Structure 1
Amino acid sequence: MRSPGLLIPAFSLLASIQLSFASKCPPWTQNNRVFVLTDISNEPDDTMSLVRLLVHSDLYTIEGLVATTSFWLPNGTDAEQIQSLVDVYATVQANLQSHSNSSFPTAKYLSSKIASGPKVYGTEALKELEAGGSLTSGAQLLIDAVDASPEPLYIQIWGGSNTLASALWYINATRTASAHQAFTSKLRVYSISDQDDTGPWIRRHFPTMRYIASQAGFNQYGVAAWTSISSSTVDVGGPDKAAVSQDWLTANIQIGPLGAKYPDVMYIMEGDTPTLLYNIPNGLGDPEHPNWGSWGGRYTSNPLGSDAQFGDATDTVIGGDGKSYTTNWATIWRWRNAFQSEFAARMQWTLAPNSPNSNATHPPVVIINGACGSKAIEMNVTVGQHITLNASASYSMDAGAKLNFTWFQYKEPSAWQASTSVVPTINITRPGGTDGSLSSFTIPEPNSRSCKAPEKVTEFGQYAEAIKCPVLHVVAAVKDVGARHPITRYRRVLLRVQPYDRE
């Protein structure tokens, strides 16, 4: 399922773009529809993630907050805990809203989206349905959410998945094959590993449905990508441990009425949060493209090129110790300082309404070559073509903001194997005398010295992948370096290299 992005011709932009035009570019407003399944009260991390969701809830359309069971909470659900957090959110919602051009949902609306899934473990819920039992309120809410819109529904599974399994079982039993297919085609699942036995059941019975999950032995959480959100045992020396320490959380997150509900760390900080970060519309990722990479990690399909089941991919990242790490964990921890800094900035929003004297930090608006929005910019390019990307029209709503521009090639999404040696390197330069908002480069020759359009390739396996023309990814990251808690926004440029033959 590929969203087309914004297709514009590649060209060298010589004239600067006036801020008067930039001011007409609104921040991102098209939010993903998300549906959360959480085994909240099992351990503190679900409560932590729910606090983060609430202070970022202007970036999502929340369609469901459903309490579930899991391996570690097999005999009950706790929707009351969700409601208690929403009640506290009500006391800070007005403050949050004053800081955003998008809409923070009301507590009343969120309360209408709270429900409970089956109070039994895993596939026991399916046995109850087979015996004539009724759908739970949570499973019915999920069905209603899917039916309510033609837009995708992103299901974030923080615990067991039997609420989703129940809904799928019911749809399969009560609707025609075409109606069933129409229903499942709208589902996008990101599961924090498998936390009951219905995850494998779903993937086995609905193999064409989009499903992201770290694939490992059951309960082998330590090898999963999502653990790098905060685990101190992944890539030791690479990620910044201070940004997820209890001391940092106490100082920056456990503040104000809602922050007071953020528990101390036990086991791991926010193990479920990568599902939220995956859908955050910050211009880095696109949830329709798991392989592109985002704050929520990067995932690759099996088989290659499929739009269905995805597992962990790897990135190569230079860590804080100067060493190189090529791991699935690096796909998340590489963004740790950025997503923690935004969380801290938003917790400040909860404390007071926005005002000229509030000294609050807000997201910049990134504009490249005159293109507004957060969707990737797509360019058809030829080898040897000179490209200039101009982000000088980008701006911040904050007075006195000092915007910093970082440009980088994200190689891994272009690779068809763990090694990025198959991807040609873009030599990005920044013209002298500028503030860094411009970047220039020449489209490099494919490593194979020739390439074909993907639809023209008749080879298979490694030979096919080696001769396909690459799609190269360049990303701009923009933030206010003068802010106490900078908020980073990105813009991705896809360079679609056209067929080339050196001979």
Structure 2
Amino acid sequence: MRKSIFVFTKGLLFLALPFLCFGCKGIPKSKDQAKPRVLISSDIGGTDPDDFQSMIHLLMYSDLFEIEGLVASPYGPGRKKDFLDIIDLYEKDLPNLQLRSQGFPHPDSLRSICKQGETEIAPFSGFRQATEGSDWIISRAKKESDRPLWILVWGGLEDIAQALHDAPEIKENIRVYWIGGPNKKWGVNAYSYIAQNHPDLWMIEANATYRGWFIDDGTPDNSMLNGYYDTFIKGRGHMGEDFKNYYDGQIKMGDTPSLAYVMNGDPNDPMGESWGGSFTKIDRSSRSVFERPSTKNDTVAAYDVIEWRFKGPVESIPKDSVCFTFKILGQTWNGYYLGAGTYGVRYSSKKPETGTYTTSSEIPELDGLTGQYTSITPWPGKPSTDDYILGEHWYGDRREPELFIGEQQGARTVAKHRKAFLMDWAERWKWLE
């Protein structure tokens, strides 16, 4: 508690003196120090509107960062135009922001770094082809700098996987903070490619910690989320007016902890304290491979990579061809030909659950298969020979029971800082009055 009060106090000091930081070890403390380099990969405009909220927050703090890329990697609808629409609102609010700090980037510079990334889920191999976004990631990672490039992933890992496939040497220069959980479910093939082929990547895999931003943690601070829009945002600027369009102004911003991690605390120490959470070093990523239909008695960890392999006819078709569909919990996934009469599909549960699946295919041996699984916390689960073995710089959600909020592992490491974060942001909203 004492640390939260300290951070908030420093936040007020920062606001009075624009070139000082609010106690954030990872942020430059004077105008002469270099700002952290960040690149955002987002599914903005895709399956969840909270990325618009996070984008507004990013732009309101953009004087503190060197933003080097805004890569749109949505599932379904959404394109880089969604970034551009929010930048248009930022441009209208910029004169008021510049009264408090001259460090805000020009709107045209932001528009120039908006790039279109992958819009399809990666096939079983985990990568497909280069995109404007993956090429931009490579170019920024190869830029001469004595600072790492922080890649903050608000969606799937498709463009990161593609960039690592095309230029694996960029691992030396990047650090990734990934909002996993549901995004791991959608992008499980890209994740599997990275974990198997690039385990030496510097990675924070936040599957549940980020949920401490917006779920009820049972403390009085939770009440700040209710009514925050009406108290601090309503009537303040063009971005404030637009904020109401997402969840009716209710705070979610599930991707913002990635930016908050670089804003506050020492980003070189994932196991320390920061607004973006505290993590633990992990040396393996749980993976369960079934070469038979699984049952509800087959227990895996939530956030596991679950892989089913089914036998069928030997076909003269390319590997990675879609040959069947896999329906689970109301959603449908593609299954692929792996060669030599083997067919496979991957899935990752985003929470503890019991799931039932069925398959459909024109290949009789793959049609009408059904089964179940049961997922539990914590993650990683029990060690298995199927696990991906990771390098020394891979971090995951804290496992201590007292840091759970309900079933959300590690979420209290973010929730404990929510008041300090929200009050600091409230001061910035005043700049737009």
Residue-pair matches, total: 290
CA 144–313 in structure 1, closer or farther in 2 if over 3 Å, else same: same
Q: Specify the alignment match of 1:277 in structure 2.
A: 260
Cα offsets for 1:299-333 (capped at 9, x unmatched):
111249974110012689899xxxxxx96111001
Quick check: 1:315–1:330 contact (8 Å CA) kept in 2? no
Q: Specify the alignment match of 1:48 in structure 2.
A: 53
CA 39–139 in structure 1, closer or farther in 2 if over 3 Å, else same: same
Report the AA paired with residue 98 of structure 1: L
Q: Specify the alignment match of 1:78 in structure 2.
A: 79
Q: Distance in 2 between matches of 1:315 and 1:259?
A: 38
Q: Specify the alignment match of 1:204 in structure 2.
A: 196
Q: Distance in 1 between matches of 2:124 and 2:114?
A: 22
Q: Distance in 2 between matches of 1:126 and 1:204?
A: 10
2:211 counterpart of 1:227: yes
Instruction: Normalising by structure 2, report the TM-score.
Output: 0.61
Q: CA deviation at 1:230?
A: 0.7
Equivalent positions of 1:57-456 (< 5 A) are: 57-69=62-74, 73=75, 75-100=76-101, 103-123=103-123, 128-129=128-129, 135-150=130-145, 151-172=147-168, 180=169, 183-193=170-180, 194=184, 195-197=186-188, 198-214=190-206, 224-232=208-216, 235=217, 237-238=218-219, 240-245=221-226, 247-254=227-234, 255-262=236-243, 263-265=245-247, 269-280=252-263, 282=264, 285-303=265-283, 307-313=392-398, 328-351=410-433
CA 239–318 in structure 1, closer or farther in 2 if over 3 Å, else same: farther
Secondary structure of 1:270's counterpart equals coil
Quick check: 2:151–2:175 contact (8 Å CA) kept in 1? yes
Report the AA paired with residue 159 of structure 1: G
Cα offsets for 1:101-153 (capped at 9, x unmatched):
x6111101100110110121124796543xxxxx2111111111111133201
Report the AA paired with residue 80 of structure 2: A
Secondary structure of 1:51's counterpart equals helix
Secondary structure of 1:340's counterpart equals helix
Q: Distance in 1 between matches of 2:401 and 2:233?
A: 30
Q: CA deviation at 1:200?
A: 2.7
5+ residue gaps in structure 1? 1-22, 130-134, 173-179, 216-223, 320-325, 352-503
Cα offsets for 1:58-83 (capped at 9, x unmatched):
111111111113xxx2x454111110
Cα offsets for 1:402-456 (capped at 9, x unmatched):
xxxxxxxxxxxxxxxxxxxxxxxxxxxxxxxxxxxxxxxxxxxxxxxxxxxxxxx
CA 125–201 in structure 1, closer or farther in 2 if over 3 Å, else same: closer
Secondary structure of 1:290's counterpart equals coil
Secondary structure of 2:247's counterpart equals coil
Secondary structure of 1:212's counterpart equals strand
Q: Specify the alignment match of 2:316 in structure 1.
A: none
Report the AA paired with residue 313 of structure 1: R
Instruction: Normalising by structure 1, report the TM-score.
Output: 0.53
Q: Specify the alignment match of 1:32 in structure 2.
A: 36
CA 306–253 in structure 1, closer or farther in 2 if over 3 Å, else same: farther
Q: Distance in 2 between matches of 1:111 and 1:125?
A: 32
Quick check: 2:126–2:191 contact (8 Å CA) kept in 1? no
CA 128–76 in structure 1, closer or farther in 2 if over 3 Å, else same: farther
Quick check: 1:77–1:117 contact (8 Å CA) kept in 2? no
5+ residue gaps in structure 2? 1-16, 22-28, 285-389
CA 35–206 in structure 1, closer or farther in 2 if over 3 Å, else same: same
CA 103–201 in structure 1, closer or farther in 2 if over 3 Å, else same: same
Q: CA deviation at 1:92?
A: 1.4
Q: CA deviation at 1:206?
A: 0.7
Q: Distance in 2 between matches of 1:200 and 1:238?
A: 37
Quick check: 2:155–2:179 contact (8 Å CA) kept in 1? yes
Report the AA paired with residue 333 of structure 1: A
More helix by share: 2
Q: Distance in 2 between matches of 1:124 and 1:107?
A: 38
Secondary structure of 1:269's counterpart equals coil
Quick check: 2:212–2:411 contact (8 Å CA) kept in 1? yes
Q: Distance in 2 between matches of 1:52 and 1:155?
A: 17
Larger Rg: 1
Q: Distance in 2 between matches of 1:315 and 1:331?
A: 11
Q: Distance in 2 between matches of 1:272 and 1:88?
A: 20
Report the AA paired with residue 83 of structure 1: L
Q: CA deviation at 1:26?
A: 5.4
Report the AA paired with residue 139 of structure 1: S
